[in-house]
């Protein structure tokens, strides 16, 4: 399927360049993860929805259209609240997919809304499959079809388990469109070590993945010095940061684990290149559900304050790198 | 979200038991992969659609609703054609997700149609994320919400990269509902070896994953002797089959790679337990696009014949195991 974006003569500015520009302009490396859980939305959003669960409970009968509207209402307000402080939002597909087609519609609207508010959109889908299937995922999530999230998505997270032929279709979809990828290298969850830290020929498995990412980044390196191929490197395991930074000088890091997952800002310094370049840090629940800890504030104000204080804390660390 | 299925007193028959019963009844271990690519659908389907691409081309303007209708029409006809010969269908989410919300709607309809035709549904989504997110994916794809694929899905493929805490939510969603999982262990694509075959402490990485799957299978083993936790083991790498079979006596194997991807039926014998039990073999493109090689036949007849001959060839191998 030929697409206008992919076939235009001069490629658009690359994702990494746009991300770096946003970091300079907003003095921020904060990404806000949009992981909306219906049951945790503020009372005000539930009130505007007019209810989404039928009387008597029973999850099977949840109205997916109303539930999805709730996710969109909430996410759009979060986007407005964090736009001055964050460089990007990172919607996670799972929370939208939960409500089927209606959820996918909401996801697409949320991506567009973020773009409208001047935020970059990193779609956290962690897809990975063999070649012919990866082509379909790349079209779905980085492509140009209206009525899909693709047109409003700037970068996508992917899973490397299938090796290069599962990754290449994403590279081929991303680069001509000036979009980016973040390949899962070392994740931030407690059991990440189970497979990712296994000894593989004298070094942990995730380093072998990182070496492959380094090759893919090298072959797709742009004039700016950046590659569209970045890496997800969890902030909860700071030890490997120095090593990974050396291996991947052309790759942006997406660092989850700050905030609700527990990594302090100071521990994240080594994820950045000198000058505080080349990494963005994600906070999800600590920002989007900030209303739970600040019951006295209007909820969007609680979210804005949480985003501002995360931005400030991270920035104080970043400028000393 | 409480659900009727999960909270009922006696659990439904397990996926593995239902799969085994279907194998006996249909004398088949064939799973047909539903990987519908719009551009490859038979002319008859395109004619019924009345076109899906605007004049002048330009993929960005594809009508996703019509395209999705095409996927559903095609898939539903394939389902009817293969129902006598296959025990299950395996829709891959990517090909539906490509068309956004409309595609998700089609996916859900296709899963329901397969169930109606007496086929089990293995949803090939290969999802994997950290715990709180895996909960949302599990609800989306194995749950009970109407308007999501979940209610019609019998088993789901998942990616193990996050380790146990990314897998457990899927186990907790699957087992009480009598559903199953297939964890990616060794895939069938050419670059699978890049990471999966890396030496990890004296044995290939995929064997370490298999050892974890064996633990998860052991802890969830049912009275039937089967576990809801199965494994994806590619037919294109038959060497490891014997080893994996020893390690995973309670797990069903889902074996891709037969047919278009090149594995001959005879090479698949070792993926089965003695008596020809414990594995199903997937064929996707060689069955669903059989019309491309049989232009003289009505397309659904070509699909039915391809399914029958795959079933027969596999069955001849299976009964000698």
Which residue shows structure tokens 């897809």? Answer: A127
Class of residue B206 by CB neighbours under 10 A (exposed 0-12, middle 13-18, buried 19+): buried
Asked whether the beta carbons of residue A147 and residue B100 sit closer than 8 angstroms, the reply is yes
Q: Which residues of B293-314 are buried (b: 16+ CB within 10 A; e: fewer)?
A: eeeeeebbebbbbbbbebbebb
A19 burial type by CB count under 10 A (0-12 exposed, 13-18 middle, 19+ buried): buried
* Long-range contacts of the stretch A265-268 (C-beta < 8 A, 24+): A265/A313, A265/A314, A265/A316, A265/A317, A266/A317, A267/A235, A267/A238, A268/A235, A268/A238, A268/A241, A268/A314, A268/A317
- Evaluate if residue A313 carries a pLDDT over 90: yes
Question: pLDDT tens, B300-316?
Answer: 999 999 999 999 999 99
Q: What pLDDT, on the 0 to 100 scale, is given for residue A54?
A: 53
A 36-95: CB under 8 A from B? 37, 39, 57-62, 64-65, 92, 94-95
Give the pLDDT band of residue A9 (cuts 50, 70, 90). low
DSSP code, position A259: G
Task: Return the pLDDT at A4.
Answer: 45
- Residues 6 or more apart whose CB falls under 8 angstroms from that of A313 comprise A265
Q: What pTM was computed for the model? A: 0.95
Strand residue runs (E) in chain A: 30-34, 88-91, 120-127, 155-158, 180-186, 229-233, 253-255, 279-283
Which phi and psi angles does B101 have, rounded to 5°? -60, -40
Say yes or no for a CB contact (<8 Å) between A194 and B98.
Answer: no
Q: Which domains does chain A have, with CATH numbers?
A: 4-318 (3.20.20.70)
Judging contacts by C-beta atoms under 8 Å, the chain A residues touching residue B140 are 94, 97-100, 103
Please, which pLDDT band fits residue A53 given cuts at 50, 70 and 90?
low
**Annotation says A90 is catalytic:** no
Q: What pLDDT is attached to residue B52?
A: 64
**Tens-place pLDDT, residues A99-154:** 999 999 999 999 999 999 999 999 999 999 999 999 999 999 999 999 999 999 99
Residue ranges in chain B modelled with pLDDT below 50: 1-8, 55-57
What backbone torsions phi and psi does residue A218 show, to the nearest 5 degrees? -65, -45
Q: What is the pLDDT of residue B283?
A: 96
Please check the confidence at residue A5 and state whether its pLDDT lies above 60.
Answer: no
Contact A189 B130 (CB under 8 A): yes
Q: pLDDT per residue over A79-95, tens digit each? A: 999 999 999 999 999 99
pLDDT for A272 beyond 60: yes
CA distance A171 to B277: 40
Q: Which two tokens stand for residue A188?
A: 């931030």
Of B126, B179, B293, B308, which one is the catalytic site residue? Answer: B126
Q: Which of B111, B129, B128 is nearest to B120 (CA)?
A: B111
pLDDT at A6: 46
What is the pLDDT, as a whole number, of residue B181?
Answer: 98
């Amino acid at each position: 399927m030929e697409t206008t974006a992919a076939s235009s003569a001069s490629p658009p500015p690359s994702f990494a360049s746009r991300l770096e520009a946003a970091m300079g302009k907003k003095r921020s490396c904060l990404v806000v993860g949009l992981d909306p859980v219906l049951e945790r939305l503020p009372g005000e959003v539930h009130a505007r929805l007019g209810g989404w669960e039928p009387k008597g409970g029973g999850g099977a009968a949840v109205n997916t259209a109303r539930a999805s509207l709730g996710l969109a209402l909430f996410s759009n307000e979060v986007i407005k609240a964090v736009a001055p402080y964050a460089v990007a939002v990172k919607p996670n597909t799972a929370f939208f997919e939960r409500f089927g087609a209606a959820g996918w519609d909401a996801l697409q609207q949320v991506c567009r809304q973020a773009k409208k508010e001047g935020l970059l959109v990193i779609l956290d889908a962690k897809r990975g499959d063999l070649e012919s299937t990866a082509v379909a995922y790349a079209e779905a999530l980085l492509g140009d079809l209206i009525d899909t999230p693709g047109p409003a998505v700037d970068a996508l997270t992917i899973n490397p388990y299938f090796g290069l032929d599962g990754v290449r279709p994403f590279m081929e979809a991303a680069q001509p469109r000036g979009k980016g990828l973040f390949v899962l290298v070392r994740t931030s969850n407690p059991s990440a070590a189970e497979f990712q830290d296994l000894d593989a020929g004298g070094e942990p498995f995730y380093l072998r993945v990182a070496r492959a990412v380094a090759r893919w980044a090298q072959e797709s390196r742009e004039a700016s010095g950046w590659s569209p191929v970045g890496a997800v490197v969890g902030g909860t395991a700071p030890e490997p940061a120095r090593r990974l930074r050396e291996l991947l000088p052309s790759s942006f890091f997406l660092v989850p684990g700050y905030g609700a997952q527990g990594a302090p800002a100071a521990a994240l310094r080594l994820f950045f290149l000198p000058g505080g370049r080349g990494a963005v840090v994600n906070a999800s629940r600590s920002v989007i559900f900030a209303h739970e800890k600040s019951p006295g504030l209007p909820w969007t104000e609680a979210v804005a304050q949480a985003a501002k204080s995360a931005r400030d804390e991270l920035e104080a660390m970043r400028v000393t790198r």
